[in-house]
Structure 1
C-alpha cells in the first residue's frame, strides 16, 4: 500500500486531499500541529469508512517538531510515496508593500517557504525509498509573477505583498528541487487548488473542496510519464492546467 504525508491536513483542502487519497487506496499520515484537531479529523475519516489513516503531530515551523514527526513516521513505514506540503498562512493584514510589517513577512515565510524546505529535507530519505516518489507543493496562482504583472489577469487587483511573495518563493524552491531530482524517479510540482471556499479566505472562495482536492491528488497519482518541475492551476487554465511562473 502506498503512503502519503499531508501537512496541515486536519481541515479544509488538506483534509479533502487526505480523503481522496484514502479513497485511491493510500495509507495517509494526516499532519496536524494540533493533536486534538488532528485526532478529530482522523475519527471523521474513519466514520466515513476510511480507516487507513493516522495522525502525525507536526508543526512545520518547529525543527524539533518536524524531527519528532520524521522519527515517528519512520517507526511506522519504511518508505514514503508522497509528500504534500499543504500547510500555509496568509500573513494577516495589511498586505501592502509599504505598510506590512517585517514580522508579518517572517511569520508567513516561516510556514509557506521555510516550513516546506524543513519538511521536504526531513522526509527526503523516506521518499527516496519509494519507487515513484511524488512531492506536491500546494501553491497559488497568486504567486505567478507573469500573471500578476498582467493587467488582464482576473485577479490582477488582488495584490498582497506577503502572501503572494511567499508563494513566488515557494515556486522557485519547487523549480530548484525538481531540477536537482531531474535524473531520479521523483516528480515534483507546484499546484494551485484555485480560489476555494475555506476558513483560509473566510469562505469567500468560489471553488469547492472536492475540486481543489482533485487538483492536488492528480499530481500525486501521476505515473513515470507525468510532468515534473511544472506549475498547475486548472482554475486559471482549464486546458491542461499549466500556468506561467
Structure 2
C-alpha cells in the first residue's frame, strides 16, 4: 500500500484530497497543525468506510513540530510515496502593494514558501526510499507572472501582494527542486486546484472542493513515467492542463 502525507489536511481541499487518495488505496497521513482537528477529520472519513487514514500533528512554521512529525512517521513507515504540500494561508483579503503590512507578507511566506521547503527537506529521506516518489506542491494561478502580466486573463485584476508572490516563490523553488531531482525517479510538480469555494476565500470561488481535489490527485498520484517540473492548473482550459509560469 502506498503512503501519503498531506499537510493542512483537516479541512477543505486537503481533507477532500485525503479522502480521494484513501479511496485509491493510499494509506494517508492527515497532517494538521491542531491534532484534535486532524483526528476529527479522520473520524469523519472512517465513518464513510475509509480505514486507511491517520492524523499526524505538524505545523509547517514550527521546526520542532516538523521534526517530531518526521520522527513519528519514520517509526510507522519505511518509506513515503507521496508528499502533498497543501498547507497555506491567504493573509487577509486586502493586499495592496503599497499598503500591505510587511509583517503580513512575512507571515504568508512563512507558511506558503518556507514551510514547504522545511517539510520537503525533513521528509526527503523517507521519500528517497520509495520506488515511485512524488512531491506535489499546491500552488495558485495567482502565482503565475505570465498570466498576471496579461490584461485579458480572467483574474488579471486580482493582485494580492502577499499571497501571490508567496506562490510565485513556491513555483520557483519547485523548478529548482525538480531540476535537482531530475535524474531520479522523483516526480515534482506544482498543482493549482483552481478558484474553489472554501472558507479560505469566504466561499467566493466557483469550483467545488471535490473537483479541486480530484485535480490535485490526478497529478499527485502519477507514476515515474509522468511529468515533472511542470505547473498544472485546473483553471486552464487547454490540452494538458499546463499553466505558463
TM-score bracket for the superposition, by shorter chain length: over 0.9
Kindly indicate whether the alpha-carbon contact (under 8 Å) linking 2:212 and 2:234 is maintained by their aligned counterparts in 1: no
The corresponding residue for 1:216 is 216
User: What displacement does 1:93 show?
Assistant: 4.3
> Partners in 1 of 2:209 and 2:181 — Cα distance?
31
The corresponding residue for 1:127 is 127
Alignment of 1:139 onto 2:139: yes
1:10-49 counterparts in 2 under 5 A?
A: 10-49=10-49
User: What displacement does 1:238 show?
Assistant: 4.0
Give the match's secondary structure for 1:236.
coil
User: What displacement does 1:94 show?
Assistant: 2.8
> Partners in 1 of 2:91 and 2:150 — Cα distance?
24
User: What displacement does 1:237 show?
Assistant: 2.8
Superposition TM-score, scaled by structure 2 size: 0.99
Paired positions, count? 245
User: What displacement does 1:176 show?
Assistant: 0.3
The alpha-carbon distance between structure 1 residues 53 and 188, as it changes in their structure 2 partners (threshold 3 A), is same
User: What displacement does 1:166 show?
Assistant: 0.3
1:51-90 counterparts in 2 under 5 A?
A: 51-90=51-90
Kindly indicate whether the alpha-carbon contact (under 8 Å) linking 1:80 and 1:126 is maintained by their aligned counterparts in 2: yes
Where has structure 1 moved over 4 Å in runs of 4 or more? Answer: none
The corresponding residue for 1:201 is 201
Alignment of 1:118 onto 2:91: no
The corresponding residue for 1:99 is 99
> Partners in 1 of 2:145 and 2:20 — Cα distance?
31
Unaligned runs of 5+ in 1: none
Give the match's secondary structure for 2:178.
helix
